[in-house]
Amino acid sequence: MEEVEVVLKITPYLGILVVIVSIIGLWFPILGYFLLIVFATLLLIAPFRGRWFCGNLCPRGSFMDFWVGRMAGKKRIPKILRSLWIRIPIFILMMGFMGYRLLNTQGLVNQIGMVFVIMCITTTAIAVVLGISIAPRTWCTFCLMGTAQRIIGAGKYQLQIDTEKCIECGKCEKVCPMNLKILEITDNPDCIKCGRCVEACPKNALSFKK
């Protein structure tokens, strides 16, 4: 059964969680454990809806779209950043570094929490720099968890195009935060299922299918 999908009402406000963890977490490292909840949630959703979490529930995605987006760049996201030849090494490097830091915490709760807080600050800082200089969702093209979801949920909950209704106006491409082309959106595992293209289509030619 087909269903129309649009950005959830709560999505624009989730960015506050990034601010809380990144700033208040420096004094209360226990907040870093929030990242574990995020990781667990997206890994549970990915096998059924691919990168749906990225477009609807990701705090950093919300922060970049609705907070940083106001002063973000308008350039096209470089295709090279979508390459797994770039993404996999970054994934291994950053996860390895975080693992190394965790091994040196000696199991202390606050120190473990601080490792996650620092990871949140570091990745958010990179996302902001890329967002302002290129486009809001640049970081999302090679995000660690986005890459994991891409691999786990490839082919799930794909966008469908009714070619008889489509007039190739390009409005869907203009609102796509991942800069995907219309023919790529339907089978690209990096589609974040935000539903903005569905909402923008004047002919109701787009929909998601379970």
Q: What is the pLDDT of residues 25-83, one digit of tens each?
A: 999 999 999 999 999 999 999 999 999 999 999 999 999 999 998 888 889 999 899 89
Please check whether residue 20 lies inside any domain of the structure: yes
* Share above pLDDT 70 across residues of the chain, in percent, rounded to a whole number: 94
Q: Is 204 left (phi over 0), alpha (psi -120 to 50) or beta?
A: left
Residue 45 lies in a domain: yes
Residue 174 lies in a domain: no
Q: What is the pLDDT of residues 175-197, one digit of tens each?
A: 999 999 876 667 788 899 999 99
Rounded distance between C-alpha atoms, residue 145 and residue 55, angstroms: 13
Q: What is the mean pLDDT of the chain?
A: 90
Range of the domain at 96: 9-155
Domain membership flag for residue 177: no
Is residue 179 situated within a structural domain?
Answer: no
119 lies in some domain? yes
Assigned domain for 164 exists: no
- Tell me, yes or no, whether 56 lies in a domain: yes
The number of domains in the chain is: 1
pTM of the entire predicted model: 0.89
